[in-house]
Amino acid sequence: MINILKYTLGIFLALAILAGGGVAAALYFMNRTSAPPTKPIFANDSPAVRGEKPKATVPKVAKAASKPEAKGEASPKPTPTPKASESPKPLPPGAYQARVTWKQGLILRAEAKQDAERVGGIGFNSRVIVLEQSEDQVWQKIRLEDGEQEGWVKAGNTQKVDEEDSQ
């Protein structure tokens, strides 16, 4: 009689352990799959969207140019050459020089619309002049550095550069 009781108790205990382990595993996997993933951050997100403050950058060219003077070495002064960034057209008020930061380059459009006619393109790290922004701040009107072509690109894909930054 005691052997039958031990046998029955052992079976119930084994079933309870298997059921408890199954419930624990099911809860673990349900919790892992029900949590939404973190929001991705893209290169063209503005700092306000990402919750960051814009970073102030110091041009590397200015640092490198000051080193020979600090050592006291006599180096010949380079003759000033006209910058390629000077465009033949005068800049309107509020315009500034910028650099393309979107790795794939940008598409120039005739109007500030996604379905507007494509009028050209600009490669990554190319210098442009930002002339104005659309009222909804989604598009920027830019001029190529040589001053020959103007068009609209998505805002957030350019970064303002200092005048000393020649590269």
| Cβ–Cβ under 8 Å, residues 88 and 129 | no
pTM of the model: 0.44
Residue 142 in contact with residue 128, Cβ under 8 Å? yes
Burial profile 88-122: b = 16 or more Cβ within 10 angstroms, e = fewer? eeeeeeebebbebebeeebbbbeebeeeeeeeeeb
**pLDDT tens digit string along 76-122?**
555 555 554 444 566 777 788 889 888 888 888 988 888 888 888 88
pLDDT of residue 145: 80
- Which residue numbers in the chain have pLDDT < 70? 46-90, 163-167
Res 46: pLDDT: 65
Average pLDDT, the chain: 77
Asked if residue 155 is part of any domain, the answer here is: yes
What's the pLDDT at 64? Answer: 46
What is the number of structural domains in the chain? 1
**3-class SS of residue 157:** coil
pLDDT for the residue numbered 79:
55
Domain that holds residue 145: 47-69+89-160
Confidence (pLDDT) at 66: 47
Give me the pLDDT at residue 93, please: 78
144: domain CATH number is 2.30.30.40
In a domain, 142, yes or no: yes
Give Cα 120 to chain centroid, integer Å.
22
- Dihedral sign for Cα 52, 131, 98, 152, please: positive
Report if residue 140 sits inside a domain. yes
